[in-house]
Structure 1
Amino acid sequence: MAWSTRGSRGGASCRAIAGLTLVMAGCEANPNDDPAGTGAQTGRIVVASHEEIGLRFGLSDRMAYLGLADSLATTPKTPSPFRFTDILEGSGVDFVHVSGTTADRYFPTAFGSGVAMVDYDGDGRLDLYFATCTFLPLGTAEAGPNKLYKNLGGGMFEDVTAEAGLDFRGFCHGIIAGDVDNDGDQDLFLCNVGPNALFLNEGDGTFRDVSRDAGIDAPAWSMGGVMLDYDGDGDLDLFVANYGDYEFLRTPRPCGSDRIPIYCQPGGVPTARHMLYRNDGEGTFTDVTDEAGLGRDDGRGFGAVAADLNGDVLVDLYVVNDLRPNFLFLNRGDGTFEDATETSGAGLDATGGPQASMGVDAEDCDGDGLPELLASNFQYEYTALYRNLTDSTSATADRGGVPPAGFHDSSAEVGLVDDSRPYVGWGCALADFDNDGWPDCFVANGHIDSNRNELSPVLSYLQPPMLHRNVPVGDSGAIAPGVGRRFQLATLGVGPYFASRHAGRGAAFGDLDDDGDIDIVVNHRDGAPAILRNDTPGNHAWIRLELVGDRSNRDAIGARVEVEAGGRTITRQRKSGSSMCSSNDPRLLVGLGSVEEVARLRIRWPSGTVSTLEQLATNTTYEVFEPDNEEGEVAAVAMP
C-alpha cells in the first residue's frame, strides 16, 4: 500500500492512502501534491472540522477501515536482549509533572516538559533536574516548581531544589545544560512560555538567576535548544527553538465539542522565529539570529541537535518543527550558516511533505563515520531516520568550504515505519543500550488528549515506548563496517515499563549509576517520571570519555571521536541537544562489543587540534584534556 503522511492533532490524521482523497481535520496543504498548479486534488488533504471527523463520522470505524488503530502496532516475536528496571519507587524522587491543562485547552499544555541529567555539584554523579509547567494565562494559578534531585548513589536521590536555588516556578518546557562561562561547572537555560531563564552554577552547589542581566529573558514560547560554539571563539552560544507566536497562546482555543474538548491542530498556530544568542564572554548575550543566517520565521520548533553533519569539523544545526519542514543549517566557519533545508533531503519525509516532529537526535548508525538524523513524529506518521549520504571530501583544507549535506529518508528500509506509525513520539535517542558498538533507537510515546478514548475506544492517550535494536540486515550476527543495518523492534521481555502505556514526553539518556551502560529517564505528562536502570546482561566492553576543552569551549561540544578497537572504527561526537526538551549525559560512553583493548583513540577538537592516544584499557573512564596549543601533547587520566 502506498501512503504518505501529513501531521495530525486531536485524534484525526492527515493522510492520503492508496490514491484515496481523505477529508481530515486541520491539515496544511502540501504544494507537492499539485506541482503543476492545476488545483487537482488527487490524494490531497481537504480541511474539515474535528466534530465532523471524530464524532459525526465515527472515528472508530473509520480508523479500523484504514488499518491505523492503536492496536495494530507490531509485536516482537522473540525476546529482546535488553533489560530495564524502573527504580523510581523508593528512590527519593517524588516529582510529579503538571501540564496545566484545563477545558480551555491552551495549546502549550499539550506538550509537557523535559528532564536534564547534569552533575550540578561536581561530585562525578549525574543528578536529575525535572521541568514542569503551570496554568495559563501566566499568573492566574501557580504549580511546580521544577525539581532538582542529588544523586546519592545506589539508586537513591535527595531533593535539593530549594538549597540549590533552582525552585523555578513558571511554564517550563525544556532544559539546556552546559558551561556557558567556561568555569568548569554546568549552567542551566530554561525554555519557557514567558521569559526564558539562565541560571549560572556558582560552583558551590547553588545557582544564580542571571536572566535579565544576560539579555535572554524576552517573553517567548520556547521549547528546547542547544548550546554550541557556532563562531569558534571558545565559549558556548545559545540556540533556542521557539514553537509559535507568544501572543497567540494568550487566548483559550479548545476544539472538538463542549462535551469533548480537544486540542486544536497546530496548523492554526502562527509560526515563530528561532533565536541564536552569541555569548559575548562577559555574562551577556546578543541576538545574532539574522546576521548568522538563521532568520527563518516559518518554524514551529520543538528542539535541535548540534553536531558536525557534513564532515567539515564545524558544528551544524538540525532543527525539528511541527508541521513545517525540519531546518538544516550548515556552519560556514565565518560566523554564518548556510540554509540547506530544501537541498539536503532532511527537511521533508519520503513523500515530500513535512511531518509533525517533536524529538531529534544524530548518531552514526551504519558505521560510515557520518551521523544519521532521527526525528520522532505524530501518530499515523512514523519515526523518521535520515541516512547521511554526504561526501565530506569536498571540504577544503582550510575549513572554508561548506560540503553539501545529503540525506535520504530511510525509515522504511531500516524498519521503523510500521512499528512507530500508531504512536505519538516525543523524547528519543540513537544510543547504544547493549554496548555492541551500534546505536539503538528509543522513543517515548503518548498522545496529547487525555480524553481521546471518548472519541473512540480504540484510541489511547497512554502509549507504550518503542525500543529498536540496531542489527545487521538478515540478522546474521555479523558486525562489520559496510554490512547493511536495520532496526528490530525489541520491547518483548525488556521490563514492565515497556509492556505498559504512558504519557511519555521528554527523555534523557546517560549512565546514572556509573556501571558502564546507558540508563533512561522519562518525564511523563501529568504524572511521576520513570527512572529506567539499564540491566541488560552481557559482557560487552566500553570506554567513557570526559572531554575537557582548552582552546575549544570547555565542554568540547563539537568534538569528533574515533575509537579503533576490534578491527573497526567507531565514530561519536560530543553533541548538544537531542531528545525533546531534555539534556543528556555530557560524557561520551562508547560501546565496543567483544574487545579487550582500544588500539587507538583519535580526537578532533572543535579548535581543529587533533589528539591521538593508543592502547587504552576498556571498561574505564578517561578524563581527556585538550592541549593548549596545536603541538602540545594530550593528557588523559584514568578515573577511579
Structure 2
Amino acid sequence: KNGPCALYLQVVDYKFMNIAKTAGVAADETSDGKAGATAVDINQDGWMDIYLCRYDAPNLLFINNGDASFTERGAEYGLDIKDASVHAGFADYDLDGDLDCYLVTNILRFSINPRGRADYLLRNNGDGTFSDVSTEAGIWGTTQGHTAIWFDSNNDGWPDLYVANDFETPDRFYMNQKDGTFIDVVDEQLPHVTYFSMGADSGDLNNDGLVDYFVADMRDRTRAEYMSGMEEMGRGLWEMERVTELVPQYMWNALHLNSGTNHYKEMAFMAGMEATGWTWATRMADFDCDGFLDMFFTNGMIRNFVDADLVDRQKVVSSLEGRAAVWKNAPMRNEPNVAYHNLGDLSFEDVSEKWGLNHVGVSFGCATADMDGDGDPDLVYSNYEAPPTIMRNDFTRGNRLAIQLEGKAPNRRAIGAQITLESQSGIQTRQLFTERGIVSSEPAVAYFGLGKDAQADNITIRWPGGGVSTLENIPANNLITVPHPEGDEPVKPVERPEPLFEDVAKKSGLNYEAELVRIDELSTQRLQPRRLNGQGPDLAYGDVNGDGLSDIFVTGSTDQSGMLYFGQKDGKFKVAPNQPWESAAEADDLGASFVDINGDDALDLFIATGGVSAKPGDAILNDRLYLNDGKGNFKEAGKGIIPEDGTANRAIAVADIDGDGDNDVFTGGRYVPGHWPDTPRSFLYENRKGKLVDVSDKRARGLSDIGMVTDAEFADLNRDGRPDLIL
C-alpha cells in the first residue's frame, strides 16, 4: 500500500513513537510506491540520514538536521533517481575513503521492459554529489533485482558485491578489480544459483575466517505444497544454460560455502535449509551467543501467485477486470517464519517454534539491533497490513561482546571493516556492512557470542582502506568502541598468494576442444531433468609408448573422435600419428582408461561408450578395447575379447579383484537411451588370459542393477589387502 512512511523513535525500552510526520519523512504527499529505506550518514556529520527508494518516482534523500527533523535533498546529491528502485547499499568500493552507492532496480513496466531495469553504481565524488559509473565499472544488463549485499569475499580488503535477481536472469557476483571496475564471476565461481532470488546475507558460518553467503528462494517446505504450486520450471532455460554456459538456476535456497579458492561449494541441502517457504529476508546472527551464526527467514506473500488452481482459474476469465478479481479475492499466503540454530559443524536445527520465531503471516524486511543494550541482537521485521514485529532476545546463558568502530571521516562508522575475535573456543569473523537481508539496513555494530569464554583473548580490526588495530584480553559482556588508529599511512590490504598452478594446456599443445552436437532428447523424455548427450570429454593418462613420459588420451563425443597425445621432454604434447578410434567417431565416448589387458606390459585403451540417439542393445553402445603394441600404436581388439554390452557406460575402474596378477575391469552403466529413468546395467569383468568375462552376478549379486553410475573407484578401504569398489 502506498501509505505514509513511519519513523519510530524509541523513547524507553521497547516503547516507540512514530515521528515521521513531524520529522518530515512521511513522504505522504504522493501515492508513488515506496520500497527500501537505508539509514546512512551520507554527509558524515555524525547523524544518520535516510535514503528512500521509490517506484517510478524520484528517490528521496532525507538529511538529518540533528534535532529530530530532516530535510529532503536528493536532487542536490544526485540521488533523486527516477526508476524502479528497490534498495540501496553503501560501501567504499574504490577505497577513496567515502561511501559509494549501489542501487537495485526491478521492473518498471512489464510491457516495455519485461526483463527488468539496469542497476546503478553511484560513485561518491567527495563533494556531496554522486555520479553514475555503472557502465564504465562493469555493471551490466537488465535485471529484476531484489537485493544486493556488499562483502569482501576473498579477504583482499576490497568490497565485492552479490546481486540477487528474480526469474530467469541469473544473479550477479561482481568481483572488485581494485581499479574502479568489477567483473561478474557468477559463472566461474558458483556451481549454480537460485532461480527466484529473494533476500541474501553474508557471514562466516563455520568460523574458518572465510565469509560465506546465503541466498533465499521460494521453495515450499513440504512436498504437498511444492506439487500444488507452479509447473515444471525452465526446461528451455536448462537447455539454454547448457549451450550458452550460463550458470544453472534451481528453485531452492543456496548456501555458498567459501572454500578459500575461486570456487564456492553450494550446500543448502547438506545444511537442511534448501526449502524455507516463500522467503524474503535471510539473516545471519548469533542469537544464542554460542559463537556460531544462526539463521532467520521471513516468509509469506500477499497472494499465492504460484498456486496452480488459482493460475488455471484466472486463465479461463476473459476480461482483465475478471482476472484481477480472481487474485483480489484469493486469500493471502500466510506462512510461518523460520529460524535455524547453527550446531557448529555446518549442520542446523530448526528452532522456529522453540525460539518463538515462528510468527505466521506475511513478513518482508528484517533487521537486527540490540534494542535493549544487553549485548545480543534482537529482531525487527515488517508485516503486510500489520504493524512491525519486534522480537526481544531473551537468551542469557551465553557471554557476549559487542564492538562498534569510530572511523575517520568520510567513513565515520568504518563501513567495510573486518573484525576477527579470538577466544578460548576459537576464532570468529565479522564484516561491517549494514545493508542485509532484503530492503533493510541496520546499525554498524558487530555482535560476538562467546559462550562460556570469559574474555576475548585477541581482537584484530582491519580498517577499510588499510590500517590494523589489535586489542587483547577484553572482558565479555561489554560494548566497546574502538577508534581508528593514529597515523595517515594505511597498511596495505593483505594480498592473496599467487596460485600454485597455471593452466598451460593450450601452450603445451593440448588444443583439443570438445564439440557438442545438439540432440533433442528432452522433448521425448519428460521425466529427464538434464541432457545426457556430451557428458565428456574424459581423460586417460599413462606412458603408452615406453619413453618414460606421460601421454594423454581425450575422449570424443558424438561425431567427434578422441585424440591421443604423446608427451615430450619439454613438457609439451604432440598428436600421436596412430588414431584408430577415428572410425568410431559417431559414438559418444563417456569414459577412458589405460590398462594392460593382455599382460604384455603395454597399456591398452579401454573406452566406455554411450549415445542418447541409440537404442538399447545397439552396437554403437558397445565398449571398445584397443590393444597397444608397446610403441603407442593401437589396434582395436577382435570379437570375443570384450563382451558386447550394448549399454551406455561411463565409469571405468580397474583392479585385480581375484588376486591372479592381471587387471580386471568394472564399467558403470550411466543411462538407458530413450528410457529415463530406467536402470542401466553395470558390469564386472574378470580378466582370463586377456579375455574379459562378465562375472557380475557371480561375484557381486545386485551390482549389475546398482543404478545410474557416474564414477567408480577401487580402493582397499578396510586394509585387508583386497580392492573394494566405491560407486
TM-score (norm 2): 0.58
- The answer for the alignment partner of 2:219 in structure 1 is 379
Task: Tell me, in whole angstroms, the C-alpha distance in 2 between the residues paired with 1:339 and 1:446.
Answer: 31
Deviations 1:528-575 (A, max 9, x none): 221111123x32111111111117722211101011111411111101
- The answer for the alignment partner of 2:292 in structure 1 is 438
After superposition, where does 1:600-639 map in structure 2 within 5 Å? 600-629=458-487
> Which residue identity lines up with residue 590 of structure 1 in the other structure?
F
- The answer for the alignment partner of 2:170 in structure 1 is 325
- The answer for the alignment partner of 1:360 in structure 2 is 200
Task: Tell me, in whole angstroms, the C-alpha distance in 2 between the residues paired with 1:218 and 1:620.
Answer: 42
Following TM superposition, by how much is the alpha carbon of 1:437 offset from its aligned partner in structure 2, in angstroms?
A: 0.9
- The answer for the alignment partner of 1:116 in structure 2 is none
- The answer for the alignment partner of 1:599 in structure 2 is 457
After superposition, where does 1:412-427 map in structure 2 within 5 Å? 412-418=269-275, 420=276, 423-427=277-281
Q: Is the contact made by 1:452 and 1:460 (CA closer than 8 Å) also made in structure 2?
A: no
Q: Whose Rg is larger? A: 2
Q: Is 1:191 the counterpart of 2:53 in the alignment?
A: yes
Q: Give the number of the structure with larger relative contact order, counting CA–CA contacts within 8 Å between residues 6 or more apart.
A: 1
- The answer for the alignment partner of 2:134 in structure 1 is 289
After superposition, where does 1:389-404 map in structure 2 within 5 Å? 389-391=259-261
> Which residue identity lines up with residue 78 of structure 2 in the other structure?
G
Seen in structure 2, the aligned counterparts of structure 1 residues 571 and 454 have a Cα distance that, compared at 3 Å, is closer
- The answer for the alignment partner of 2:78 in structure 1 is 215
> Which residue identity lines up with residue 467 of structure 2 in the other structure?
T
Q: 2:361 aligns with which of 502, 511, 516?
A: 502
Task: Tell me, in whole angstroms, the C-alpha distance in 2 between the residues paired with 1:458 and 1:167.
Answer: 31
After superposition, where does 1:83-482 map in structure 2 within 5 Å? 98=1, 134=2, 144-169=3-28, 170-193=32-55, 194-244=57-107, 246-248=108-110, 269-294=114-139, 296-323=140-167, 324-345=169-190, 348-349=192-193, 354-380=194-220, 381-391=251-261, 405-418=262-275, 420=276, 423-449=277-303, 455=309, 461-472=333-344
Following TM superposition, by how much is the alpha carbon of 1:205 offset from its aligned partner in structure 2, in angstroms?
A: 2.1
Task: Tell me, in whole angstroms, the C-alpha distance in 1 between the residues paired with 2:256 and 2:387.
Answer: 33
Task: Tell me, in whole angstroms, the C-alpha distance in 1 between the residues paired with 2:156 and 2:409.
Answer: 18
> Which residue identity lines up with residue 253 of structure 2 in the other structure?
T
- The answer for the alignment partner of 1:586 in structure 2 is 444
Q: Percent identity?
A: 32
Following TM superposition, by how much is the alpha carbon of 1:242 offset from its aligned partner in structure 2, in angstroms?
A: 0.5
After superposition, where does 1:32-43 map in structure 2 within 5 Å? none
Q: Is the contact made by 1:453 and 1:460 (CA closer than 8 Å) also made in structure 2?
A: no
Deviations 1:485-539 (A, max 9, x none): 21111123323x61x4211111111111111211111111222221111123x32
- The answer for the alignment partner of 1:39 in structure 2 is none
Q: Is the contact made by 2:157 and 2:465 (CA closer than 8 Å) also made in structure 1?
A: no
Q: Is the contact made by 2:455 and 2:476 (CA closer than 8 Å) also made in structure 1?
A: yes
> Which residue identity lines up with residue 620 of structure 1 in the other structure?
N
> Which residue identity lines up with residue 25 of structure 2 in the other structure?
L
Aligned length: 438
- The answer for the alignment partner of 2:427 in structure 1 is 569
- The answer for the alignment partner of 2:354 in structure 1 is 493
Task: Tell me, in whole angstroms, the C-alpha distance in 2 between the residues paired with 1:575 and 1:309.
Answer: 13
> Which residue identity lines up with residue 187 of structure 1 in the other structure?
D
Secondary structure of 1:558's aligned partner: coil
Following TM superposition, by how much is the alpha carbon of 1:417 offset from its aligned partner in structure 2, in angstroms?
A: 1.9
Task: Tell me, in whole angstroms, the C-alpha distance in 1 between the residues paired with 2:438 and 2:254.
Answer: 15
Deviations 1:425-452 (A, max 9, x none): 0012011110111001100000241688
Task: Tell me, in whole angstroms, the C-alpha distance in 2 between the residues paired with 1:312 and 1:621.
Answer: 28
Q: Is the contact made by 1:315 and 1:331 (CA closer than 8 Å) also made in structure 2?
A: yes
Task: Tell me, in whole angstroms, the C-alpha distance in 2 between the residues paired with 1:374 and 1:451.
Answer: 24
Following TM superposition, by how much is the alpha carbon of 1:173 offset from its aligned partner in structure 2, in angstroms?
A: 1.0
Following TM superposition, by how much is the alpha carbon of 1:237 offset from its aligned partner in structure 2, in angstroms?
A: 0.9
Seen in structure 2, the aligned counterparts of structure 1 residues 232 and 631 have a Cα distance that, compared at 3 Å, is closer
Task: Tell me, in whole angstroms, the C-alpha distance in 2 between the residues paired with 1:586 and 1:156.
Answer: 22
Which range moved further: 361-370 or 500-509? 500-509
Q: Is the contact made by 2:13 and 2:371 (CA closer than 8 Å) also made in structure 1?
A: no
Q: Is the contact made by 1:271 and 1:297 (CA closer than 8 Å) also made in structure 2?
A: no
Q: Is the contact made by 2:219 and 2:253 (CA closer than 8 Å) also made in structure 1?
A: no
Q: Is the contact made by 1:153 and 1:513 (CA closer than 8 Å) also made in structure 2?
A: no
Q: Is the contact made by 1:453 and 1:461 (CA closer than 8 Å) also made in structure 2?
A: no
Q: Is the contact made by 1:600 and 1:614 (CA closer than 8 Å) also made in structure 2?
A: yes
Task: Tell me, in whole angstroms, the C-alpha distance in 1 between the residues paired with 2:147 and 2:490.
Answer: 37
Deviations 1:14-51 (A, max 9, x none): xxxxxxxxxxxxxxxxxxxxxxxxxxxxxxxxxxxxxx
Seen in structure 2, the aligned counterparts of structure 1 residues 211 and 458 have a Cα distance that, compared at 3 Å, is closer
Q: Is the contact made by 2:51 and 2:59 (CA closer than 8 Å) also made in structure 1?
A: yes
Following TM superposition, by how much is the alpha carbon of 1:467 offset from its aligned partner in structure 2, in angstroms?
A: 0.3
